[in-house]
Chain A
C-alpha cells in the first residue's frame, strides 16, 4: 500500500506549477472583480455604455477607483499563468498518458478546461486590447465585437470558477488527505 501511495504522487514540476496556477487563478479572480465593478454591465456587439440597454447587469456597487491596481495585477497574473500554464500543460499531457487510472470523464473535463475554456478566455481577453485587435482584427469576428468579447470573458470566468468549485469538491470527497499529499 505504501508503495502504491508514493507512486501516485505528482511530479515536482506538476506540484509547483499547480500551486503557481492556483495563486494566479486567485489573483485573476480578485483583480477581475476589481475591474468588473467599474462597469458591472454587459452588452452584446461593439458598443455599450451607461445609458444603452445592457444584455444583463450585476447588482454590484459601482467603484471606479480599483481599475488601476486591478488591471496591473490582472495582466501580471495573466503573463505568469501563460508561461506557467504552457509548462503545466506540456507536463500534464505526458503525465496523463501515464495515468490510465484517470476516468474518461475526468480526462474530458480537464481537456475541456485546458484546450477549450482557457484558450477562449485568453482570446476573449485579448479582444478587449486595442493594440491586439489592430494586429489581429479577426478576433473581433470570432467574438462578434468588443463588448461581446467582454461578456464572453466574464461568462467563461464564471464557468472556470464553477469548475474550480467542482475540482475542490472532488478533492475533498475522494480522500482529501491523500489527494493533498499527492499535490503538495
Chain B
C-alpha cells in the first residue's frame, strides 16, 4: 500500500507540475508547434476533470459487438513471434525492467496467476468507428506493485513485438481499468487483436491500446527513451495523450 500511495502522490505531483510547467517534461510529450498548445490544454483540462479517477463506462455482455475491427498489424511476421504463436505462447515472456525492485520476465501463466479483471468497454478508434468488447487481464497497478516500482518512477513504457511503442504516466498506469489483457470476449486474446498480451487504457482512444506487448519499462523520464516523444505515433501527428 505504501508503494501505491507513493505512486498516487507522484501522479498528483506530476499533475501539479503540468500546470506550472516548472519542470522539464512535466507536460505531456508532444511534437511541439502550435498544436502542442492545444494538446497541453486538452491534457490539463482532462486531468482536472478526471482528478477523482472515474471509470470509463462499462457495458453488459449482451452489448458486445458481433465483430471487432482489427487494424494496423494483425499478425506480426517476426519469426520469433510466429514460433511462439505456434507453441501457443508457452515460451513467450513479458520482460519487465527499469525502475523496479525485481526486474525479470513473466510468462503468460505468471500473469494469469494474478487476480484478473474483466471489463466490457467501448473501443473508440480515432478514425471514427467504435465497437464494444470484453477484455480480461491483469491490472497494470497489480503488476507494478508486484515488481515493486521505485519512488522516482513516473512513466511506464510499453514495447511491442511489431516494433511499436507507447507510454503512460502513473495517473493512467495505476487506473483500475488499465489492463495488460490476455483475454477477449471470454476466450484467449486472438492474434489479430494483439495476442498474447495487449494494453487497455479505457479513457483514451484506440491508438493508445498497444497490441503484442512484449516488454514494459518503468522510468522517470521519457526524453531519453527512443526518439524522446513518448510514443510511436507522435512523430506521425498523433498526440501522446489520446483522451480526446
Residues of A at under 8 Å CB distance from B? 35-36, 38-39, 41, 46-52, 64, 67-69, 71-73, 75-76, 78-79, 128-137, 140, 146-147, 150
The reply to whether B35 and A76 contact each other, CB–CB distance below 8 Å, is yes
Chain B 212-244: CB-based contact to A (< 8 A → 1; otherwise 0): 000000000000000000000000111100011
Q: Is the interface of B mostly helix, strand, loop or mixed?
A: loop
The reply to whether A76 and B129 contact each other, CB–CB distance below 8 Å, is no
Docked complex: B109-134 residues within 8 A CB-CB of A: 122, 124, 126-132
The reply to whether B57 and A140 contact each other, CB–CB distance below 8 Å, is yes
In the complex, A68 Cα to B46 Cα: how many Å?
Answer: 20
- Which residue of chain B is the closest to A131 with respect to CB atoms? B243
The reply to whether A130 and B127 contact each other, CB–CB distance below 8 Å, is no
Given A47-B130, A130-B124, A131-B50, answer yes or no on A137-B244 (Cβ-Cβ < 8 Å).
no
The reply to whether B203 and A72 contact each other, CB–CB distance below 8 Å, is no
The reply to whether B56 and A130 contact each other, CB–CB distance below 8 Å, is yes
The reply to whether A72 and B38 contact each other, CB–CB distance below 8 Å, is yes
B81 to chain A, nearest CB (A): 25
Residues of B at under 8 Å CB distance from A? 34-35, 37-39, 41-42, 46, 49-50, 54-57, 59, 63, 65, 67, 69, 122, 124, 126-132, 202-205, 236-239, 243-244
- Which residue of chain A is the closest to B172 with respect to CB atoms? A131
The reply to whether B127 and A135 contact each other, CB–CB distance below 8 Å, is no
The reply to whether B132 and A47 contact each other, CB–CB distance below 8 Å, is yes
In the complex, A36 Cα to B127 Cα: how many Å?
Answer: 8
Of B35, B130, B132, B244, the contact of A132 (CB 8 Å cutoff): B244
- By a CB distance below 8 angstroms, the chain A residues around B56 are 130, 133-134
A84 to chain B, nearest CB (A): 13
The contact sample of 26 A-B pairs, CB cut-off 8 A, is A35-B128, A36-B128, A38-B126, A38-B128, A48-B129, A49-B65, A49-B67, A51-B67, A52-B67, A67-B127, A68-B237, A69-B237, A72-B239, A73-B35, A75-B38, A75-B39, A78-B38, A79-B37, A79-B41, A130-B56, A130-B202, A131-B49, A131-B203, A132-B49, A136-B49, A147-B130
Given A46-B63, A135-B50, A137-B57, answer yes or no on A38-B244 (Cβ-Cβ < 8 Å).
no
- By a CB distance below 8 angstroms, the chain A residues around B65 are 47, 49, 52
The reply to whether B124 and A128 contact each other, CB–CB distance below 8 Å, is yes
